[in-house]
Structure 1
Amino acid sequence: MSFIKIFIHLVFSTKNRAPFLNTFDIRIKVWKHIKEYTTEKGIFLDVVNGYSDHCHCLISLGSDQNIEKITQLIKGESSHWINKNKLTKDKFSWQDEYFAVSISESMVDQVRNYIKNQERHHQKKSFIEEYKEFIEKYNFKE
């Protein structure tokens, strides 16, 4: 048996950063559904949360999983589910792009708490500000 522990902080936004997930009730339903779906598909999703225009996931990859496929499954199935259940007024979709960074085990609790506190965090900071911080912190080139 192989032993693997690869934590990924995954962030993706709604199409054009539209505030589709504009109520706490909608967000709770979507995060709960994503958690149930990933469990059903054998994807280890430690925590999921976000705000009106984006989603954060802390995932641990299995030996037969890769970031692209996991992201595609989560985004594709959740947007289909949101539209099927008419949770948003307009047709819902996620942006094609996403952030994915590896997280050392020593930082898992900090990232987990950051994700859990998205509601409070975004009372002070917009997703655009958060986006710019990620770009800078992880040395991504735009």
Structure 2
Amino acid sequence: MALWRLYYHLIWATKERQPLITPERKTQLYSYIIGKANTLGSIIHAVSGIENHIHLVASIPLRLSISNFVQNIKGSSAHYLNHLSPSQDLFGWQRGYGVFSMGSEQLEQAVMYVQNQKAHHSNGTRILSLEQHNHEDNGP
């Protein structure tokens, strides 16, 4: 078994940046993502966001590419939410994502940043380089 300590800050947006992550969906979405990541052998250190995008701090095992991880999480979470409450607006993720690697020294700071997303957006204390993602990529 390989020893791995890989840390990533991932960001992606809802379809057309619509405010689809409602308070009703937020808890269900975050719980689902944590559970799905666990079944993939990944660790979610933090997950949060606002109505139109999400941030994750995750450790992804060597056997799983980052793009496969993101594709799996995005696809299955949208499917889950749409089948959980079919009467709500159709949930979807925009194409593409942003990913930043970090060392263990930055892990605590990244976790705190993700956990305080709502405050950062309200107070204008966002780190702009961590809020960008490329929706034009060919990725998931």
Settle same-fold status: TM greater than 0.5: yes
Superposed displacement of residue 87, structure 1: 6.9
Find the counterpart in structure 2 of residue 7 from structure 1: 7
**Identity value in percent:** 27
Aligned length: 133
- The CA deviation string for residues 4-52 of structure 1, in whole angstroms up to 9 with x for no partner, is 11111000000110001132x3212210111112112222222211110
Runs of 5+ unmatched residues, structure 2: 133-140
Whichever residue aligns with residue 67 of structure 2, its letter is E
TM-score, structure 1 length as denominator? 0.83
Q: Give yes or no for contact 1:7–1:105 (8 Å, CA) kept in 2.
A: yes
Question: CA 1:88–1:51 in structure 2 vs 1: closer, same or farther (change >3 Å)?
Answer: farther
Structure 1 runs of 4+ with >4 Å offset? none
> What are the within-5 Å matches in structure 2 for residues 62-73 of structure 1?
62-73=61-72
Whichever residue aligns with residue 5 of structure 2, its letter is K
Q: Give yes or no for contact 1:21–1:88 (8 Å, CA) kept in 2.
A: no
TM-score, structure 2 length as denominator? 0.84
Q: Give yes or no for contact 1:45–1:57 (8 Å, CA) kept in 2.
A: yes
Runs of 5+ unmatched residues, structure 1: 138-142
- Aligned with 1:78: secondary structure? helix
- Aligned with 1:47: secondary structure? strand
Q: Give yes or no for contact 1:48–1:116 (8 Å, CA) kept in 2.
A: yes
Question: CA 1:88–1:70 in structure 2 vs 1: closer, same or farther (change >3 Å)?
Answer: farther
Provide the aligned C-alpha RMSD in A: 2.4
